[in-house]
Structure 1
Amino acid sequence: MADSESKAAELMAQAERQVKSASGFIGRIFGGSAKLEEAADLYARAANSFKMAKKWSAAGNAFEQAASIAERLQTKHECAQKFVDAASCYKKSSFQDAIRCFNRAIEIFTDMGRFTIAAKHHVTIAEIYETDVVDVEQCIAHYEQAADFFKGENSNSAANKNLLKVAYYKAQLEDYEKAIEIYEQVAASSIEVPLLKYSAKDHFFRAALLQMCVDPLAGQRAVDKYVDMFPAFQDTRECKLLKKINESFEEQNVDAFTEAVKEYDAISRLDQWYTAILLKIKKSMGGEDESLR
């Protein structure tokens, strides 16, 4: 590793000499572009040597230097790719630097009309905000942008995947209207695709639960609407649970609500998202117990 780091430092020094040479009067007249291209290659080689030495910040910086030269040479794709390489290194040392470089790459790919690859990098940034730098608002913003780009490129499956992430977090922020809209939209599109039809029940289930958080009567109407849209929903365990919840609302029977949820959970384990939403519904019925079981 020490040898790799020493080699990287030497390559960086060589690259810097080439950049200075290309910037001089003689360099500009005789082969300035060629010297810059050689410098970019040296920076990239230095970055790879830093990677071997696990010097991630230094590797990211070296790739950024290569990207800057590619920008001067107006080789857009090469510039964007080097920013992606830099970001990938920074993910191991500085999440903010990684986000900055991914954003620079996105700007370039978007300018080039490469929206699918730009969308994929938006997803990567969203995932960083989701798990590493916890910022739900930024996470949502990047998943939304990714979905928009994918949709524009007719990648509807990828767009829906990201929209579901948006809905998931919108619900956590209690922006139920937006979350419901997305779940209904994705469910409706899933019904039209044989391979995705079965997943519609999950989206309708989430949408109906969120409707109940807003208004129990709206929840009941939503269940009826979803059954009309997707008759097979009628026989699912999810729909049966929703109907039991509606009945417990009408009777103001918290125990019946708890028992219905307990029966469902015994077969299909409820995750944290479902648990949080169901607890909100239970509290709206006057339930004081913090448990669903």
Structure 2
Amino acid sequence: MADQEQKGKELMAEAEKKVRSSQTFFGSLFGGSTTKLEEASEIYQRAANSFKMAKAWSAAGKAFKKSASLEKKMKNKPRAGYRLAEAGSCYKKVDGEEAVRCLQQAIEIFTDMGRFTIAAKHLITVAEIYEGNSIDLEKAIEYYERAADYYKGEDSTSSANKCLLKVAQYSAQLENYGKSVEIYEEVAEVAVKTPLLKYSAKDYFFKAALCQMCIDTLNAKLAVQKYEEMFAAFADSREYKLLNKLLAALEEEDVDGYTDAVKEYDSISRLDQWLTTILLRIKKSIGGMDLT
């Protein structure tokens, strides 16, 4: 590892020397300046890869940025974009803010070029930074939404829906239940019409109904009836049965009945953190304080 880091440093020095020589009078004659910049860019990339092998992530990110800067200078936009994206991937491990800055530049380049699928991929990476290291769910939602729009424009419905489901998940966590309902219903409608995705529709309808319960019990009851009409198999699911038990408990203000229904479901299908949080919020609306 130490050898690779030293090799990276030596390559950085070599690249810097190439850049300086390109700026001399003789270096700029007969297009020699461009040739030297091309060589320097490649050497920076080699240095970055050496730093990556040494897990020197900041140094690798810096080297990729320098390579990208030279590619921009030579008006090679695709290479500049890819090098900036590489820099972002390296910085992501040690410096979220710098990673976002690099990735935003890459996104701008690929968007300007009309390469929306590539731009969407990097938008997702930025969203992951905000949902992981920085924990800014509003920012994560913003970038997942942009990625979904780009995928929709390229008719990549499946990829767009994956992003939208993240938006729905985090919107509910931030108590923007209406937005979550809208997305879960939209994705469920697509799933119902797609043979390979039909099974997953029940999960989306289930989550949509829970978000409805966070808003209003009557609308939640009507929504469950609507989902059954849209997808007949939903009525045979454990999720549908749980929803009806929860609605009955809410109407009767029966905290024990609500708790028993959740425990019965959890004994067979373990609740994840998101479902636990939403179910707890609903329970608190009838005076309960704990799901356990």
Measure the CA separation in 2 of the matches of 1:241 and 1:54: 49
Secondary structure at 1:74 match in 2: coil
TM-score, structure 1 as length reference? 0.95
Unaligned runs of 5+ residues in structure 2 are none
Shift of 1:131: 1.6
What does 1:192-211 correspond to in 2, within 5 Å? 192-211=193-212
Shift of 1:164: 0.4
1:62 matches 2:63: yes
Residue of structure 1 equivalent to 2:257: 256
Q: Which stretch of structure 1 is more off in the superposition, 182-191 or 128-137? A: 128-137
1:267 matches 2:265: no
Structure 2 counterpart of 1:55, one-letter code: A
Q: Deviation string for 1:238-258 (max 9, x for gaps)?
A: 111111112122222221111
Secondary structure at 1:196 match in 2: helix
Measure the CA separation in 1 of the matches of 2:212 and 2:119: 34
Q: Deviation string for 1:60-118 (max 9, x for gaps)?
A: 11111110000011111111111122122222322221121111111111111111111
Residue of structure 2 equivalent to 1:111: 112
What does 1:71-82 correspond to in 2, within 5 Å? 71-82=72-83
Q: Deviation string for 1:38-78 (max 9, x for gaps)?
A: 11111112222222333221111111111000001111111
What does 1:84-103 correspond to in 2, within 5 Å? 84-103=85-104
Secondary structure at 1:248 match in 2: helix
Shift of 1:125: 1.4
Residue of structure 2 equivalent to 1:127: 128
Secondary structure at 2:195 match in 1: coil
Percent sequence identity over matched residues?
A: 59
Residue of structure 2 equivalent to 1:180: 181
Measure the CA separation in 2 of the matches of 1:73 and 1:91: 27
Residue of structure 1 equivalent to 2:237: 236
Secondary structure at 1:195 match in 2: helix
Q: Which stretch of structure 1 is more off in the superposition, 239-248 or 5-14? A: 5-14
Secondary structure at 1:110 match in 2: helix
Residue of structure 1 equivalent to 2:35: 34
Secondary structure at 1:92 match in 2: coil
Change beyond 3 A, Cα 1:278–1:53? closer
Measure the CA separation in 2 of the matches of 1:278 and 1:209: 7
Q: How many residues are treated as equivalent by the alignment?
A: 291
Unaligned runs of 5+ residues in structure 1 are none
Secondary structure at 1:154 match in 2: coil
1:225 matches 2:226: yes
Measure the CA separation in 2 of the matches of 1:253 and 1:10: 72
Measure the CA separation in 2 of the matches of 1:5 and 1:251: 67
Q: Deviation string for 1:181-217 (max 9, x for gaps)?
A: 0000000111010010111111010111111111110
What's the Cα RMSD here? 1.4
Change beyond 3 A, Cα 1:281–1:22? same
Q: Which stretch of structure 1 is more off in the superposition, 27-36 or 190-199? A: 27-36
